[in-house]
Amino acid sequence: YAGIVVKSSGVRVVNSTVTQDGYGVVIIGDNNTIYDSNIAGYYYGVNVTGNHTVIVRSYVYGYDSPGIYIWGSDNNITDVYASSDGYDSPGIYIIGNHTVIVRSYASGYYGYGIVIYGSYNNVTDTHAAGDDNDGIYIHGSYNNITDSVVKGEWSGVIIYGSRNLIYGSSFTGSYGDGIDIYGSYNNITDVYAYGHNYGVYITGNDTAIVRSYVAGDFYDGIDIYGSYNNVTDVYAVGYGGNGIYIVGNDNVISGSSFTGSWGYGIYIGGSDNTIADTYAYGHDYGIYIYGSYNTIRSTNITGYYYDSIDIYGSHNTITDIHAAGEDSGIYIVGNDNVISGSSFTG
């Protein structure tokens, strides 16, 4: 049972107040709209199965289930407040593609802020709060999060997919990570990310992190497991671990600053990686490399407690470096490494 049930297309619900012990509004059909309404349901506030649904300037609440649930594509949610008190229930739950969420607020008191299963969806100028889980959870590709503020009791945002864009936004993970990405060809630009564990945690290849501030409270600022990733103009601090920790090959770090308050400024396990025009400070080691054919150039490095640079590998190149360590300026175990135009203090 529901306050309003629509089983057709082209219906408009305008200036309405709906309060129901079951469902608030149920829509089965395409091209339906909800404007300027207050809707509350014990289960779903609004439950839509269909495409091209528009919800504008409305308050939607689901006591035991998502505030807004949409199974369909090409939908638009604008200037909406959507919330849920249900266990693991988000304020907004989307299964589909090409949905736009703009200037809205979504919260799950015991769940997620926003959950999206699909691709080519856009979240813009929106606040999302997962008070007992993640702020935003996305499973899909080609999704965009821009100019938004996201907070999760666990992680700020978790993405399983590729070619997603995160731009101009702020993410906080109170007990997890600021940003978690499992996939490739993703882009993180002009972002603030703070996590209780990691600021940014990436498993995948060809992801770019640009012009961002990243902090991990308990572990590392940035963790990357993958290859061909690019970190440019980034400040990252690991208050309880490393500034940045990379396991993979052919990654590029440039024009950035890394602080490992209780570990390494930069840790790299892999080959053919490049560090350029960067500052690295580590409580233990400034830079620690386990691999070959890596390049470090035009970089200032400090190892507060041990060595400035530790390298275990061969055919690495170090050029125009200023390094200072409590024990050694540089410590190398390996063959055919090249050092030029640099200064080291131990």
Is there a contact between 22 and 44 (Cβ–Cβ < 8 Å)?
no
pLDDT digits (tens, 9 = 90+) for 56-66: 999 999 999 99
Q: Give strand pairing partners of 111.
A: none
CA distance 166 to 143: 9
Q: What are the tens digits of pLDDT across the range 30-61? A: 999 999 999 999 999 999 999 999 999 999 99
Could you please report the per-residue DSSP string of 287-330? EEEESSS-EEEEEEEEESSS-SEEEESSS-EEEEEEEEESS-SE
User: Which residue, 157, 99, 85, 159, is CA-closest to 128?
Assistant: 157
Q: What distances in angstroms separate CA 230 from CA 88, 159, 179, one per listed residue?
A: 34, 18, 16
CA–CA dist 198, 275 (Å, integer):
21
What is the per-residue pLDDT across 8-22, written as a single tens digit (0 to 9) for each?
999 999 999 999 999
Instruction: Check: CB of residue 66 under 8 Å from CB of residue 88.
Output: no
Position 268 confidence tier, pLDDT thresholds 50, 70, 90: very high
Q: Tell how strand 264-269 and strand 33-35 pair up.
A: unpaired
End-to-end CA distance of the chain: 75
What integer pLDDT is reported at residue 346 of this predicted model? 81
Question: What residues contact residue 167 under an 8 Å CB cut-off, 6+ apart?
Answer: 144, 145, 146, 147, 187, 188, 189, 190, 191
C-alpha–C-alpha distance, residues 71 and 255, integer Å = 44
Reading the block at residue 221, the tokens are: 């600022």
Q: Answer yes or no: are the C-beta atoms of 203 and 180 closer than 8 Å.
A: no
Instruction: Render pLDDT for 77-95 as a digit per residue (tens, 0 to 9).
Output: 999 999 999 999 999 999 9
% of the chain with per-residue pLDDT over 90: 96
Length of the chain: 346
Per-residue pLDDT band for 266 (boundaries 50, 70, 90) equals very high
304 confidence band (pLDDT: 50, 70, 90): confident
Q: What is the identity of the amino acid at 152? A: G
